[in-house]
Structure 1
Amino acid sequence: MKRFSIFLFCITLGLLSCTDRDDELQQVQIRVRNMNSFTYDTVIVGDQESVHELVEPGAYSDYLPYDTAYRYAYIEIVAGDSTFIAQPIDFVGEDPLPAGFYTYELTAEEDFSVDLNFVLD
């Protein structure tokens, strides 16, 4: 019985000590995915000073923290000599995203606009 109690205690302790990456998350974390066949030199999301840099085709950037973010955002992609922009009109009726991990899948279009597909990670 003593061995079983020790075993049960160890299992319980092990399960309780496991943490998930978003257990203590305080901010929105956003990364971008390059859906084009060319490299994004820089990607600016919203009015943040944080910049996602050198995002290769099909690749993801690192997550960057944001104070406030929505399912869509102002996006500016610089690739070589070209600049692509997604300019939302407003966020009326939109709720800010809760703290968590999100991906903006971005496609730079021929007309220099940007398509954004929102993904909950």
Structure 2
Amino acid sequence: MKKILLSIGLTVLIVFACADRDDELLGANIRINNKSSINFNTVQVRVDTLLFENIPSDGFSNYLAFETAFAADTLTIQTDSTEYRFIPADSIIGDPLPIGLYTYELSFDEEGEILFNFRVD
């Protein structure tokens, strides 16, 4: 009897442990990867939409769920001393993203322009 209960318990544990992190998503979830040497106080996607806060240098934000997200979007980055703005070309925005996990990788070139890279997680 103990072996049967133990087997059932282990089976239930294995079934719940095998769930992927994206099994319960309802839309596109995006995070920010700060690949620069500057700490980001905030990163705002679009105007008055979602706000990522306190992303350290070489760090990641948490994922935020978007109703509609794109492979590239308008970003405003606030640091301690400066505000940077990224406006993608219409040709790279594309169609809305399907349900999934995505990362916007952000860094700067020598002239202080934002380097943007989109990644599927």
Q: Same fold (TM over 0.5)?
A: yes
- Paired residues, number: 120
Q: Do residues 46 (structure 1) and 46 (structure 2) align?
A: yes
- Partners of 1:88 and 1:38 in 2: CA distance: 21
Instruction: After TM superposition, list the pairs within 5 Å mapping 1:20-59 onto structure 2.
Output: 20-47=20-47, 49-59=49-59
- Partners of 1:28 and 1:109 in 2: CA distance: 28
Instruction: After TM superposition, list the pairs within 5 Å mapping 1:102-117 onto structure 2.
Output: 102-109=102-109, 111-117=111-117
Identity %: 31
Seen in structure 2, the aligned counterparts of structure 1 residues 8 and 82 have a Cα distance that, compared at 3 Å, is same
Per the normalisation by structure 1, the TM-score is: 0.79
In structure 2, what is the equivalent of residue 88 of structure 1? 88
Q: Which whole-Å deviations, capped at 9, do the CAs of 1:15-65 have from their partners, x for residues lacking one?
A: 433311111211111110111111111101234532111111000011111
- Partners of 2:86 and 2:45 in 1: CA distance: 10
Structure 1 residues 89-98 or 4-13, which shifts more? 4-13
CA RMSD of aligned residues (A): 2.4
In structure 1, what is the equivalent of residue 63 of structure 2? 63
Unpaired segments of 5 or more residues in structure 2?
Answer: none
Seen in structure 2, the aligned counterparts of structure 1 residues 91 and 66 have a Cα distance that, compared at 3 Å, is farther
Per the normalisation by structure 2, the TM-score is: 0.79
Seen in structure 2, the aligned counterparts of structure 1 residues 63 and 43 have a Cα distance that, compared at 3 Å, is same
Unpaired segments of 5 or more residues in structure 1?
Answer: none
